[in-house]
Amino acid sequence: MHLIMILTALAVSWILRCSFNNSQGSWNVRWRRSLFLFLFPPLLIFMTAIALIFMGPQGKMGGVYTGWFSYVLALLFLSFFAVLCVKLAFQGWQSVKSARDCPLVNLEGTQVRLLNTGALFAGQIGFWQPELVVSQGLLQTLSLDHVGSVLAHEQGHYNYRDTFWFFWLGWVRSCTAWLPNTEPLWQELLVLRELRADNYAASQVDPLLLAESLLLLVSSANVVLKPEICCAGLGVPGVGDRLEQRIEALLAPPQPDPDLNWQCWNAFLLAFLPLVTVIFHT
């Protein structure tokens, strides 16, 4: 019976991930669809494994005896997830340590870390309280107005705590790399993250200035400081193929931010159904 639970969770997760096909629709639709398809399958697998651990390797469920195989399999799943989390946390800590090795300077009233390189780079690096890191090349190449637009974009990342939340989303990505459409969904979430920060910045600075800054940073050879681990920047790698989409969004009228109210999360409650099966275990 426990093995049936595992196979059912895997089958549902596989079918849901296969249902992702494109990125059409409004921001709200894209955020909800992408987050659900990205998070629900691993959450269902995770809850199933936890339920099996709680039930243990002995006893009956639905009149059928359980065994060690499903219990060990669930334990291996959870151990694998835990190891990946520790690995990513260590890599994130290394990124933060590298950022804090840079000198702290005041830039237009904002405390930033100055990276000693001629390449163009600007990004938030850290977890809940990230450090803003900019390169000397960016300050030497961009005008004060363009630098201001870059800082406004980075403030958007800070406002939405993108480095913190995308650390956990990156962990989910690593745990479910074997599921279909993991990478397309990850790229979709990255682009939505940048569109949200762009929209935040466009409410404070000229969108044309921000678009020009974006073009300069994306076309340059960016410095890579673990860009997908606790880092969020204006010209991050991995979204270059969506550059046209971001430019068009900046030139279009501003849109409201994605609304993720509590009702959006109701569907995720279904992922906790495996925990209910614990009461049927004797």
Among the listed residues 95, 232, 94, 115, the one whose alpha carbon sits nearest the alpha carbon of residue 162? 232
Per-residue confidence (pLDDT) for residue 65, from 0 to 100: 55
Per-residue confidence (pLDDT) for residue 281, from 0 to 100: 59
Residue 163 has pLDDT above 60, yes or no: yes
Residue 29 has pLDDT above 80, yes or no: no
Region label for 126, one of left (φ > 0), alpha (ψ between -120 and 50) or beta (otherwise) = left
Per-residue confidence (pLDDT) for residue 271, from 0 to 100: 85
Mean pLDDT for all residues in the chain: 81
Q: Percent of the chain beyond pLDDT 70? A: 80
Distance, in Å, from the CA atom of 163 to the CA atom of 28, rounded to the nearest integer, reads 21
Distant-in-sequence, close-in-space partners of 83: CB < 8 Å, separation ≥ 6: none
Per-residue confidence (pLDDT) for residue 137, from 0 to 100: 86
Per-residue confidence (pLDDT) for residue 67, from 0 to 100: 64
Helical ranges in the chain per DSSP H: 2-18, 27-55, 68-100, 136-141, 144-159, 162-175, 182-202, 207-219, 243-251, 273-276
Helix (H) or strand (E) run with residue 59 in it: none
Q: Percent of the chain beyond pLDDT 90? A: 17
Per-residue confidence (pLDDT) for residue 224, from 0 to 100: 47
pTM score, whole prediction: 0.85
Residue 169 has pLDDT above 90, yes or no: yes
Higher pLDDT, 247 or 262: 247
Per-residue confidence (pLDDT) for residue 226, from 0 to 100: 45
The answer to whether the CB of 88 falls within 8 A of the CB of 42 is no
Q: CA-CA distances (angstroms) from residue 269 to 55, 116, 121, 266, 273?
A: 20, 48, 40, 6, 7
Residue 265 has pLDDT above 80, yes or no: no
Distance, in Å, from the CA atom of 36 to the CA atom of 25, rounded to the nearest integer, reads 15
| pLDDT, tens digit, 9 for 90 and up, residues 215-251 | 887 766 555 454 556 777 776 554 445 777 788 778 8
Residue 168 has pLDDT above 90, yes or no: yes
The answer to whether the CB of 125 falls within 8 A of the CB of 163 is yes
| pLDDT, tens digit, 9 for 90 and up, residues 116-152 | 888 788 888 888 888 898 888 888 888 888 888 889 9
| pLDDT, tens digit, 9 for 90 and up, residues 51-85 | 888 777 766 655 555 667 777 888 888 899 999 99
Averaged pLDDT for residues 15-40:
81
Per-residue confidence (pLDDT) for residue 257, from 0 to 100: 62
Domain ranges of the chain: 2-280
